[in-house]
Amino acid sequence: MRAVIVRVKACVPGALKRRVARWQERKSQTPAARHEARLDASGHLQSDAGPRACIDASIKWLARAQDESTTADGGVARHYSLMSGWGASYPETTGYIIPTLLTQHAAAAIPDAPSRARRMLNWLVSIQLPCGGFQGGLVNAVPVVPVTFNTGQILLGLVEGYRRFGDPRYLRAMHLAAAWLRDSQDVDGCWRKHGTPFALPGDKAYETHVAWALFEADRVGPGLGYGEAGHRQVRWAMTRQLPNGWFRDCCLDDPQHPLTHTLGYCLRGLIEAYRHGNDSAVLESAVRLAMPLAKLGLRDNGFLPGRFDANWRPTVSWSCLTGAVQIAASWFDLYAWTRETTLLDAARLANQFVRRTVAIDGDANVRGGVKGSYPVTGDYGRYEYLNWAAKFFVDANIRELETNVGSPAAR
């Protein structure tokens, strides 16, 4: 029977191949995975514990992910899988977890948050490549080559680490990374030389999130061309936007149906470009991307489908929870500038939906963790709780608390 299945998978594309893969998955499914899949299939959601309780639980989950990393190096485990347990450390996301861990909210949840952040920083400095870039994928992935996107995300952590601790090692690593990004950029502003080997080749509009890191580096080390390089990329990315707000070349693996995760990266980069350069055209671009997601994409219960086509039609039945909270955080910021209540209402609704997918009691491996997809059987982070999902979930809920007391644009 096994040989037959292998032959079918080799010769039949598409739906049948996926059915065979799902059959094999069900055969190896753990009781925990089966239980969670059944709960989600029934439409079960938690009661909404509110932003503060969820921030606290998810920060504690991130600390556990650091402690449980199978590579035990100070980095944060990529995920907890209901099928296979904890994973190895992920340099990219460990980088941008650092600013979240250095918030007052994190210190309130786990008093050792600053020392945890330093462990992450020291590890990242130790694995920086001689060129200044950082590898893609997990720390034990091959090939080990410098990757534009991953370097940008780690740069965010290095900048915040230097601001907080003043350690010259972090400043040196920051300049090495920022200069490598600046100097490896194509003349039109796109980065093409050092794409990740773990995603579909091609231009990436969502590398506005790399540009954001250069804006932060420019604030620490002005006059070195970091900010200019970031704005070149953003101007290039804006050429990929359609009149209806949708972006071409904005996905890891399916540019015709981009993930809300990568649309969320793109949106955040545009917002930070406006914050850095005060260019009204950039703000307009961000609003054109944000409004269709709020008006056409979001359902009445706060569910945001995980992929959209160029006409803003959902193309999957599951939600990418990471993308939902990334976009919610940006909706809060855009509301502060535009006073568009559509954005504010959408942000609160999306946050509330994701909070209702998060357990704040029970098994410590999942308590405070955020699934890749809802339902958990969706194709993004299938059966996994992802460290970056928890990080962006914390950020979005912090934005909600900030909005309740004042303008998050003043950050």
* Per-residue pLDDT tens digits for 29-64: 999 999 999 999 999 999 999 999 999 999 999 999
Residue 12: how many CB atoms within 10 A of its CB? 12
- Cβ(61)–Cβ(368) below 8 Å: yes
Average pLDDT, integer, range 140-162: 98
Nearest to 324 by CA among 299, 341, 288: 299
- Given a cut of 90, whether residue 11 has pLDDT beyond it is no
pTM: 0.93
The whole-angstrom separation of Cα 210 and Cα 216 is 10
- Given a cut of 60, whether residue 12 has pLDDT beyond it is no
The pLDDT of residue 17 is: 67
- Given a cut of 70, whether residue 15 has pLDDT beyond it is no
- Cβ(258)–Cβ(204) below 8 Å: no
Average pLDDT, integer, range 116-139: 98
Q: Return the CATH fold of 35-410.
A: Glycosyltransferase (1.50.10)
Q: If pLDDT is split at 50, 70 and 90, which confidence band does 2 have?
A: very low
* Rounded CA Rg of the chain: 20
Name the E strands within 242-375: 319-320, 373-374
As a whole number, the mean pLDDT across the chain is: 94
Q: If pLDDT is split at 50, 70 and 90, which confidence band does 176 have?
A: very high
Q: Is 69 left (phi over 0), alpha (psi -120 to 50) or beta?
A: beta
The pLDDT of residue 20 is: 75
The pLDDT of residue 95 is: 98
Query: How far is residue 316 from each of residues 229, 299, 306, 346, 373, measured CA to CA in Å?
Result: 35, 14, 6, 20, 11
Average pLDDT, integer, range 299-328: 98
The whole-angstrom separation of Cα 139 and Cα 41 is 34
Q: If pLDDT is split at 50, 70 and 90, which confidence band does 4 have?
A: very low
Q: Helices 51-68 and 91-101 meet at what angle, rounded to 10?
A: 140
Nearest to 241 by CA among 285, 296, 187: 285
- Cβ(63)–Cβ(110) below 8 Å: yes
- For residue 378 the two structure tokens come to 């969706």
- Given a cut of 50, whether residue 8 has pLDDT beyond it is no
Question: What are the residue boundaries of the structural domains of the chain, listed by start?
Answer: 35-410
Torsion of CA 172, 174, 177, 181, to 10 degrees: -130
Q: If pLDDT is split at 50, 70 and 90, which confidence band does 395 have?
A: very high
The per-residue pLDDT for range 357-387, each reduced to its tens digit, is 999 999 999 999 999 999 999 999 999 999 9
More confident residue, 276 or 8: 276
